[in-house]
Amino acid sequence: MTTPDIQQAATLIEQAEALAITCGAGMGVDSGLPDFRGDNGFWQAYPMYKHLGINFYDAANPSHFADDPAFGWGFYGHRTNLYRSTTPHSGFNILKKWSQRFNLDSFVVTSNVDGQFQKAEFDTQKILEVHGSIHHLQCLRPCCQTIWNNKEETPVNLETMRAQHLPMCPYCQGVARPNILMFGDFSWISARSDAQEQRFHDFLDQRSTYQHPPRGNGGINGYRSTSLGLICQYTPGE
Ligand SMILES: [Zn+2]
């Protein structure tokens, strides 16, 4: 960004009546998290998958949990442990300080499943996780619509990328899976994200007549355009 861009951004924040924070994988990079951008980015983070010829699209697939749960949980168990041990970078605090300094109500909309905004102590009632959260589980089948907190320890053998412990469903004793929308995923339970989404629409309703983004899966592009639209709507002279 150029200096005039930064000045314009500062003016917009100063004049804003609320702060809608939209973000994706890039937000985690400064905390040291991989963004899986392109096959090389993914394989750099997970050399074993390169050896096996598996890319991010293949690894983030619910079929592994049914076919070979220890392998499916290898990828997600490792990421759970990584996100749990990661400290959110100072940018999270900068966003919180803007909100406090200008007395702005704020709402986070993120496609990340890493729970870093909760870890940075943002208000959990004002976060929309469009693709769900790795810190919540559901039944693989699913036998019921329940979503529960992931309190399991899932160590992973990095040589084989296989989990050494499998989280199980407490209701049917079958395998549990992360409550994340994966690729080719027809059994993700969206109730938790749906409730978050309703709170975000309420947040928008309270302060603007802005046209809402589309609801449901794939809405992240809608949130991107909402982000740009909100900026244009509140930019003086546009
Ligand atoms: Zn179950």
169 Cα to the center of ligand 1, angstroms: 5
233 Cα to the center of ligand 1, angstroms: 46
Residue 221 has pLDDT above 80, yes or no: no
What is the domain range of residue 53?
Answer: 3-234
Residue 214 has pLDDT above 70, yes or no: no
Residue 231 pLDDT = 52
CA angle (73 as vertex; 116, 26 as ends), nearest 5: 30
Average pLDDT over residues 43-61: 90
136 Cα to the center of ligand 1, angstroms: 14
149 Cα to the center of ligand 1, angstroms: 15
Residue 170 has pLDDT above 60, yes or no: yes
Ion ligand 1 residues within 5 Å by Cβ: 139, 143, 169, 171-172, 174
Q: How far is CA 42 from CA 58, 65, 75, 211, in A?
A: 11, 20, 11, 36
Question: What pLDDT, in 10s, does the model give residues 85-105?
Answer: 999 999 999 999 999 999 999
187 Cα to the center of ligand 1, angstroms: 12
153 Cα to the center of ligand 1, angstroms: 19
Q: Which of 3-17, 150-164, 217-231 has the highest mean pLDDT?
A: 150-164
84 Cα to the center of ligand 1, angstroms: 25
175 Cα to the center of ligand 1, angstroms: 7
Domain count, the chain: 1
Q: How far is CA 111 from CA 81, 117, 172, in A?
A: 19, 12, 30
Q: How far is CA 57 from CA 23, 33, 43, 76, in A?
A: 21, 18, 12, 13
Q: Give the long-range contacts of residues 32-36, CB within 8 A, separation 24 or more.
A: 32/86, 33/82, 33/83, 33/86, 33/114, 33/116
Token pair for residue 143? 């036998």
177 Cα to the center of ligand 1, angstroms: 10
147 Cα to the center of ligand 1, angstroms: 10
Residue 235 pLDDT = 43
12 Cα to the center of ligand 1, angstroms: 48
Average pLDDT over residues 55-81: 94
- Cβ-contact 177, 65 below 8 angstroms: yes
Residues of 101-120 as b/e, b for ≥16 C-beta within 10 angstroms? eeeeebbbbbbbbbbbbbbb
Residue 212 has pLDDT above 60, yes or no: yes
121 Cα to the center of ligand 1, angstroms: 31
Question: What pLDDT, in 10s, does the model give residues 176-194?
Answer: 999 999 999 999 999 999 9
Helix, strand, coil percentages in the chain from 3-state DSSP, rounded to 5:
45, 15, 40
* Cα–Cα dist 32/138, whole Å: 28
CATH number at residue 137: 3.30.1600.10
